[in-house]
Amino acid sequence: MPIATVDPATGETLETFEPLSAADVRNRLAAAESAYAHHRTTGFAERARLLNRAADLLEADAADIARTMTTEMGKPVKAARAEAAKCVKTMRWYAEHAEELLADEHPAQDDVADSGASRAVVHYRPLGVILAVMPWNFPLWQVVRFAAPALMAGNVALLKHASNVPRTALYLQDLFTRAGYPEGCFQTLLIGSGEVEDILRDPRVAAATLTGSEPAGRAVASVAGDEIKKTVLELGGSDPYLVLPSADVERAAATAVTARVQNNGQSCIAAKRFIVHADIYDAFRDRFVAGMRELTVGDPMDEDTDVGPLSSEQGRADLEELVEDALGQGATALCGGQRPKEQERGWFYSPTVLADVTPRMRIHREETFGPVATLYRVTDLDEAVELANDTPFGLSSNAWTRDEADMARCVRDLQAGGVFFNGMTASHPGLPFGGVKRSGYGRELSGHGIREFCNATTVWYGAS
């Protein structure tokens, strides 16, 4: 795949980029190793100063980088500005909290005395050079939510970004450079996916993190496992959205529209499967379908646009295959189900709701990366939970109910990395984020995320 900026609203190639040579990559690895030797010895105050400076610069750049993201991958520009603001918030949060999150732990003396220790301490020390393989759908946020904690922990970063967002990738390197980070602390590698294995196998690279598809995660995890290197994987999702009898149906339906089409429907944590109790199914369906029909599809640079184009022609083709397979096997399109007639250029797809979906359809088990929802009717909570878990993925989940017993059951039985009640799934710097099953492993954000790429070092002191 060429490294290029292609406007998904028009299909026009705006700029192409030459990938780094093998010599360039070697130089970047050497610079990272050198930077880590220094950065690991800095204190939290200095790391916080640098990260806060990067946050200030990003805040000032927000309008411009938002337009860059929209040009490269098609999200509505108002959503791109919100993404930049979220990155600023997360940078500042880690600058403020990293020291306490990585504070030394002191086991009680009674717990270690029988080992012969006079005292013991657990230190959190950085691992080294971390390779980040990142996707295009949140081209700023996915990187910052890794980089902010990694840099605050004393690690340094190499970014292999998606090949269709090179301008955003280069901006990120420039951002950290302008903030005053020493050369080599954060570097963008404009390379193809075929170059990742050699970099990951390089002994100077300590660990890797990947957000992306299941095949990409499997490939990186396989190489890292062979090299015995730590990885964190955040992969696909097919999140359930349960609506139970005690729910506020009007709010649940309105939120469902946003939960499905956020980021043009191209989000791992977007709700995708809407599982509704029979008692309120008709009321929810009517409101949900009406909300999806009312969305404005069009130019993502227009402030009034709700849904822009998909990121690539192939992405739209993949989505169309899933929808056509379902319709061919008896599913019903309550709205959408085709390209919008008014959009002659670009990779647009109409907001779509499919009912009468069955397990034999591909869309029942495969992730839909676009504004397409599947709607299911269930008779009780047992059936709802069973259907929610009938997926290879387990990233997050949503449930709408006022019943405490229903909530307790969902927390206990839903197979996911998160359960969000009476709202839509969202990531926050103070809460761990990640999944189970084929959605990956490890956690980002919060204290869990910053400690993923740390060496929890036991220090034991014998009696003197």
Tokens describing residue 416: 């996911």
Q: Which residues pair with 441 in a beta bridge?
A: 233
DSSP3 helix / strand / coil % (the chain, rounded to 5) = 45, 20, 35
Does the CA dihedral 239-232-427-190 come out positive or negative? negative
| Residues carrying an active site annotation | 234, 268
Structure tokens at 46: 């200095």
The β-bridge partners of 120 are 460
d(CA 170, CA 252): 40
- Return the amino acid letter for 306: D
Specify the long-range contacts of residues 49-52, CB closer than 8 Å, at least 24 apart.
50/151, 50/179, 50/180, 50/181, 51/91, 51/92, 51/94, 51/95, 51/148, 51/151, 51/152, 51/179, 52/91, 52/92, 52/95
Q: What is the largest CA-CA distance in the chain?
A: 81
